[in-house]
Amino acid sequence: MEDTTRPEEEHQHGQELSAEEWRREEVQRITRLVEDGDVDSAVALLSELHPADRGEALLAMESGPLGETMARLTPEATAEVLEFVDLEEALALISETDPAVLPRVLDETSLDVAADVLRSLPPSRSLEALAGMSDAAEVAPLLGYSDESAGGLMVPEFPAVSAHMTAGIALDVLRLLGPDAEEFASIFVVDSEGRLLGSITVTKLALSPLNDVVRDIMHPEVVSVTADTDQEECARLMDHYGLRYLPVLDGDRRLIGIIMLEDVVEVVTEEATEDMFRIAGIAGERVMGPFGSSVRSRLPWLYINLGTAFLAALVISFFESTIARVAALAVFLPIVAGQGGIAGTQTLTLVVRSMALGELSSTRGMRLVARELLLGLLHGLLLAAVVGAVAYMWMGTPVLGAVVGAAMLGNMVVAGLAGSGVPLLLRRLKMDPAVSSAIFVTTFTDVLGFLMFLGLAALLIEWLV
C-alpha cells in the first residue's frame, strides 16, 4: 500500500496539530497499515516514533496484526519499547514475541526491567529466557527480591568511588565510566568491602584539590534502605528528603543498588491508581481491557453493594406505615442519605491518601477520628439549618423541618466517623484500607441516615400529620 502524502504536506499538517493530536494520528495511521496487511510500511513508520509512542501503537493492535508486527521488529527496537511501558503492557507485547528472540530482547533492556519481566513470566519460560541471556549473571540475583520491594525496584548499576581515593583518581574513575555516569549529579562513597560510607557531588569532587582524599570531603550522612523495604516507604523517603537516588543496602550495609527518581514516580502513580481503583471496587481493571476481566473485577463488589442496598431497603420497610401517613418523608430520604455518603467519601479519600503517603501514623488515629467528628458536627449544623428551612418552607410543617435537620446533623457525624474509622479499622486488622472502603462507608450513612430520619419521624408522627 503506497503512502501518497507528500513530505511538505505532512509537515504542514503536523504544524496545524498539537503534538498529542499528531502522535494520535500517527498511531492510527500505523494501525490502519497493519490492518490493511502492509506490515513493512507500518514497521518503517514505527521506527520513526519515540519508543513510548511506538508502544502505544503496538498495544492498539489486535493479537494477529500485533504478532506479525512484533516478528518484524529488531530485538533492540522491542527492548526500547519495554523501557517505556508498564509491566502488564510489557507482558502483553512479550506474549507475541518469539521465545527464541526473547533472551536477546531482555539483554538489550536495563537489568531491572529484565528482572521485572522474568519475575512475571511462567517459571518454565522465565528459566528458558534466563538461560539464553548473556546478562544472566547480573539479572539472576535480582529475581530473588519481591516486585514491590526496594530490591525489586533498584538498579544494580551505579557509579561509586572508594573512600581512600584522591579526588583526582575519583574523577578518572568517573571518566572511565563514560555515559553511564553522565546523569548522576552525586556519587556514593564506599569502603574496601563495598559498605556505604557517604556521598559526594560531582561538582565538589571537581572543585576540590586533586590530592584531597574522598573520605575527608564527602558528606557522611546518607539516607538508605534495605533490599526488603517496601516500595511505598522508598517513595515516601525520596519525597520527604528530596532525593534523586536512594541507595539500597544488604544486611552488611554493602551498597547493592540504587533506586532512581523516575522509577519512584512510576511507583507512586501505580500505587495511587491502585488505591483509587480499590476504593471503587475495580482493582486491576484497565480502560478497554479484556471484557471478561472487567466483569470479574466489578461484579463481586456490585453484588456486595446490592446486599447493602437491600439492608437499607429493609430499614425503610420497618417504617412503611410512617411513610404512608406522611408521604413527604419519601422526598427527603435521598437528600439525607446522599449528603452523608458524599461527606463520608470525602473523608475516606483523604484518609486513604494520607495512609498511602505515610502521613498518618497509628498513634494519630484517634486524633483524626476526633477531628472528623468535629468537622461532621460543624458541617451538619450548617447543612441542617439549610435543609430544615427548605423543608419547612416547602411542606409548611415546622416539625418536618426539624426532623430533616436533626437527621442531617446526625448523618454528617456518622459520615465523619465512618469515613475515618473504616480505613483505620481495616489497617488495624492488617487489611488494605483502600479495599472498597467506599461501599462500607456509604452503607453506614445510608442505613443509619434512614434509621435516624424515619425513627424521629415515627416518634413525632402526631405532629407531622
Does pLDDT of 410 surpass 70? yes
Does pLDDT of 276 surpass 80? no
Band the pLDDT of 409: cuts 50, 70, 90. Answer: very high
Q: Which of 19-23, 293-297, 308-312, 384-388 has the lowest mean pLDDT?
A: 293-297
Amino acid occupying residue 463 = W
**Confidence at residue 14, expressed as pLDDT on a 0 to 100 scale:** 45
Which residues are within 8 A (CB) of 164 and not within 5 positions of it... i.e. 6 or more apart? Answer: 192, 213, 214, 215
**Confidence at residue 26, expressed as pLDDT on a 0 to 100 scale:** 77
Q: Provide the mean pLDDT of the chain.
A: 83
**Confidence at residue 377, expressed as pLDDT on a 0 to 100 scale:** 92
Band the pLDDT of 435: cuts 50, 70, 90. Answer: low
3-state SS, 128-172, equals: HHHHCCCCHHHHHHHHHCCCCEHHHHCECCCCEEECCCEHHHHHH
Q: Is the dihedral of CA 9, 12, 17, 18 positive or negative?
A: positive
Band the pLDDT of 13: cuts 50, 70, 90. Answer: very low
Helices (DSSP H) in 36-166: which residue ranges?
39-46, 51-59, 63-72, 75-82, 87-94, 102-108, 111-120, 123-131, 136-139, 150-153
pTM of the full structure? 0.59
Does pLDDT of 443 surpass 80? yes
Band the pLDDT of 271: cuts 50, 70, 90. Answer: low
Q: Give the highest mean pLDDT range of 4-18, 296-310, 313-327.
A: 313-327
The CA distance from 165 to 168, in Å, is 8
Are 30 and 46 a contacting pair, CB within 8 Å?
yes
**Confidence at residue 12, expressed as pLDDT on a 0 to 100 scale:** 47
Give pLDDT tens digits for 134-177: 988 888 888 888 878 899 888 888 889 999 999 999 999 888 87
Q: Which of the two residues, 45 and 296, has the higher pLDDT score?
A: 45
Band the pLDDT of 270: cuts 50, 70, 90. Answer: low
Band the pLDDT of 441: cuts 50, 70, 90. Answer: confident
**434 φ/ψ angles, rounded to the nearest 5 degrees:** -85, -10
Please report where in the chains the cell 483523604 appears, as a residue: 350
Q: Which of the two residues, 82 and 47, has the higher pLDDT score?
A: 82
Are 267 and 260 a contacting pair, CB within 8 Å?
no
Does pLDDT of 122 surpass 50? yes
**Confidence at residue 169, expressed as pLDDT on a 0 to 100 scale:** 93
Q: From residue 406, how far is each of 93, 237, 332, 357 by CA, in Å? A: 58, 46, 12, 36
Give pLDDT tens digits for 332-387: 888 888 888 888 888 888 887 777 666 676 667 788 888 889 999 999 999 999 99
Give pLDDT tens digits for 190-245: 999 999 999 999 889 989 999 999 999 999 989 999 999 988 888 888 888 888 88
Band the pLDDT of 403: cuts 50, 70, 90. Answer: very high
